[in-house]
Amino acid sequence: AMIAASSCNKVVLPENVFGDNVIAFTASFDGIGTKVKLEGGKSKWETTDKITIHNGTEGFVFNTEQSGESVSFLYDNTNEDFSGNKFIAVYPAGNHTVDIEKKTIIANIPTFQEAVKGSFNKSAALAIAHTEDEHLEFKNATALLKFTVNSSNIKAVEFYGNNSEPIS
């Protein structure tokens, strides 16, 4: 008979090539069209991306220096302040209110968003992931609206709901 038991205070990749004090999570996308940079219908992380990973007590900002569909996000845990066994990750990084047990997030999305030619406003493209290990599969929490303007003298475009309420 084989008995297996595990306890998880610190999440690290099996062979942590980033160093002893570094916490690493791998991040990918659940489906086409989720975050970050779109190339031919496929999502890509960029080297400047940051996410916040919440451990049930507080949020920690993780960085990546990689680009691609699946990358590692890193946190320097020299002070050993990051631990836990259930996590919620949010893109983009920021101050969010998170309840790990209820799997809820309160995040602010800007009401006024600047359009980005051929891309999207990263501060408005909220994506989330929940995990109990070091693998994060992000899902969009918002929808993106794509539109084309065929004139060079347009200064602003506004979208409103059916009752003239703003759309974030």
The pLDDT of residue 168: 63
Please state, in angstroms and rounded to a whole number, the distance separating the CA atoms of residues 168 and 158. 11
The pLDDT of residue 167: 72
| Lowest mean pLDDT segment, chosen from 34-38, 65-69, 91-95 | 34-38
Between the alpha carbon of residue 81 and those of residues 1, 61, 163, the distances in Å are 38, 12, 47
The pLDDT of residue 134: 93
The pLDDT of residue 18: 64
Please state, in angstroms and rounded to a whole number, the distance separating the CA atoms of residues 6 and 136. 20
Average pLDDT over every residue of 89-105: 91
Is 74:129 a contact under the CB 8 Å cutoff? no
Please state, in angstroms and rounded to a whole number, the distance separating the CA atoms of residues 110 and 60. 22
Is 89:54 a contact under the CB 8 Å cutoff? yes
Please state, in angstroms and rounded to a whole number, the distance separating the CA atoms of residues 90 and 10. 19
b or e along 153-162 (b: 16 or more beta carbons within 10 Å of the residue's beta carbon)? eeeeeeeeee
Give yes or no for a cis peptide into 36 (omega within 30° of 0). Answer: yes
